[in-house]
Amino acid sequence: MSGLRLPLRLIALAFATVVIQQTAISQISIFGVSADLAPLVVMSVGLLAGSLPGAIMGFATGLLVDTVLVQTLGVTSLLYIVIGYWSGRVRELRDPAHGLVPLAVGAAATATAGIGMTLIQFLLGVDAPVSLVLAQQIFVTVLVNTLLALPVYAVVRRVIQPALPEDPRRRRRRAYTTGGLSPLQRPSQRLGPISRSPR
């Protein structure tokens, strides 16, 4: 049962994201564009859970978006797989600890979604000139989503963190910062200078 906790939470998260996005967020215009929560949620799952859960979450969320909006199936899935997988790889390869990492990865994820959607539509033959407005809209969406990246990341972390398996690397890092003994430090360095009584 404990093995199903993460998949169940991810399914609920994907479903809630798509419903909230389509019924509320899409209808709120900020500087002429709407925020897009879906790539931010997929990015957050990748950063927190790794590349494989990230890619699967991307596929499922994209498929749900395409289904609910009666769009060409597979287009959004393809883009979100890339976002989920590469967010996960960032975590696995770099193990970023800085608190602002979701901001940068969120911006990159939104840009990937916007530019990727444009490229796929061109490949599918949609007759659309590359207009300045299109570039402007993608840019503003990236800015708006960047502002939302940290709160979205915090919410996703709150939802899935209890279901994530304990990461040994993070456990080790936490131990060092909370007073544990690092193998890279000598005991004398940890304890500070030893005062000697004068002879």
Partner 1 sequence: MHDKQVRRRRAVLALLVGVSLILLTAYFGESPSSPLHSVQRGIVEVLSPVQEGASTVLKPVRDIAGWFSDTLNAKTQRDQLRKEVQSLQAQLAQAKTAEIQNVQLAKQVGLDDSIGISAYHAVGAHLIARDPTLWYQTIEIDRGSEDGVHLQDPVVGDGALVGKVSTVDPTVSVVTLITDHSYAVTAQVQDASGDTGLLVPAVGNPNQLLLQSLQPPSPGQPGPQVGQLVVTAGFTSGSLDSLYPPGIPIGTVSNANQNELLNNGQVQVAPTADLRHLDAVQILTRPHAGTARASLP
Which residues of the shown chain bind partner 1 in the complex (CB under 8 A)? 19-30, 32, 34-36, 51-52, 55-56, 58-59, 62-63, 67-75, 77-78, 81, 85, 117-118, 121, 124, 126-131, 133-134, 137
**β-strand partners of 30:** 33
Nearer to partner 1, 22 or 173 (CB): 22
What minimum distance in Å lies between the beta carbon of 159 and partner 1?
18
Per-residue b or e along 40-71, where b marks 16 or more CB atoms closer than 10 Å to that residue's CB: bbbbbbbbbbbbebbbbbbbbbbbbbbeeeee
- CA 68 vs CA 144, 187, 190: distances in Å: 24, 60, 57
Name the 3-class secondary structure at 116. helix
What minimum distance in Å lies between the beta carbon of 88 and partner 1?
9
What minimum distance in Å lies between the beta carbon of 114 and partner 1?
8
Nearer to partner 1, 71 or 182 (CB): 71
For 77, phi then psi, to 5°, come to -55, -45
Q: What is the DSSP letter of 30?
A: B
Nearer to partner 1, 97 or 126 (CB): 126
Nearer to partner 1, 17 or 44 (CB): 17
What minimum distance in Å lies between the beta carbon of 186 and partner 1?
31
Residues 6+ apart with CB under 8 A from 168: none
